[in-house]
Amino acid sequence: MRLEPLFPALATLSLALAGVIDPSIPSAGDLFAGIDHFLHHTPSHPQLLEVHNDYFDITTGKKRKLCVLHPRGDGKHDDQNFKAAVHECGKGGIIRLPDANYTIGNPLVTELHDSVLDLHGWLSFSADIDHWVKHRMPFEFQNLALAWIIKGENYVLDGNDIGGIHGNGQAWDSWAKDESNKYGRPMSFAIVESKNVVVKNWSVIQPQFWASIIIRSENVLYKAYYVNATQHDPGARRHFLSWLQNTDGCDTYKSHNVTFGTPTTHPSISTVELTCVENMVYQGGDNCLALKPNSSMIIAKNVTCFGGTGIAFGSIGQYRDVLDFIEDVQMEDITLLPSTQHLMTNGLYFKSWLGYPIGEPPNGGGGGAGYARNIKIWNVKMEKINRPVFLQSK
């Protein structure tokens, strides 16, 4: 480490500690804070970021800016370097992460416009639970939290069949083993206030909480999407839920035109206007898919779920005097199977709250209104499901 930048501060600090009175000299506390910031601040490392201004993109046949980011390694955080790459190429460019692992130690907000995140490894979120809870990014529904927010329009997240997110979920599963929706436990990534988005060849391994959520967005395609939440804690073996509660595969909330699959059966629905997940595989202990309030025009095709609580519609009516709806849903070629670590408790189930409140969200609620309508599901395969079709009112 170069210490020369500290010399003026140390010299001034010696005067302050010696009791020399000079109003232009900061207090000793201020100086200590400045030195601590110098020693512990994580700056971006330009030498790890390559910027190519005239890269020829064969997918578009045009030149665009390319940023190639390499990790710091040894578990050192790559947050600042990732932000620098997005700053350089997040508008109209390609952000390429070619290496095996990048460590993320803090919540992220990423804005992408007409750009591609080209990931060939893993964004590995650190397991410092106290830090994540302290710095949580709140999500208004059920007082939940988010780890990574992606916003913008006309962007692609591509995991190239070899990468995506590793959430270090085992630490979170064990920490929250006896409490559903435990405060501060963050969702791995969220598509927020976005339009015209493709998430493809993308995996989420060991999510911290829900693997993914689509919030106030439209025209989103998930293609070749894989989620695996596996329990390795020996203490969970005899537990009914294997401590894997709240490991949903993907949820939607206040989003329009969301599809899990290609709607080839119904050509009258414009695929340009659809948010779509195509060819999804889930293994975990909670909802494979969950359509939260105010989700409309949802299509799911070729979705396979191993273990958990099936595909959920709702819940609706959780918040007093709020109108919720789920409508215009089509699902086909759905497979629901038990896994070796978790029973398949439900197949397709619909959840609503009573017309009066019992407790408060996230685990209580009621007193709202709502409806679910125009829902069509066909070609569903189920094996060893306790409740193949289930209506639940809390």
Pairing state between β 122-125 and 148-166: parallel
**Which amino acid is residue 307, in one-letter code?**
G
Pairing state between β 369-382 and 323-337: parallel
Q: Three-state SS for 362?
A: coil
Cα dist from 382 to 144, 250, 286, 306, 307, whole Å: 31, 20, 16, 10, 11
CA-wise closest residue to 38 among 10, 7, 5? 5
Q: Three-state SS for 90?
A: coil
Pairing state between β 144-146 and 137-139: antiparallel
Active site residue 286: yes
Q: What are phi and psi of 198, to 5 degrees?
A: -125, 125
d(CA 189, CA 207): 9
d(CA 300, CA 282): 13
Q: What string of DSSP letters covers 29-75?
A: HHHHHHHHHHHH-----GGGEEEEEEEEETTTTEEEEEEEE----TT
Q: Which residue among 286, 321, 324, 333 is the active-site one? A: 286
By the 10 Å C-beta count (0-12 exposed, 13-18 middle, 19+ buried), 237 is classed as exposed
Catalytic residues: 286
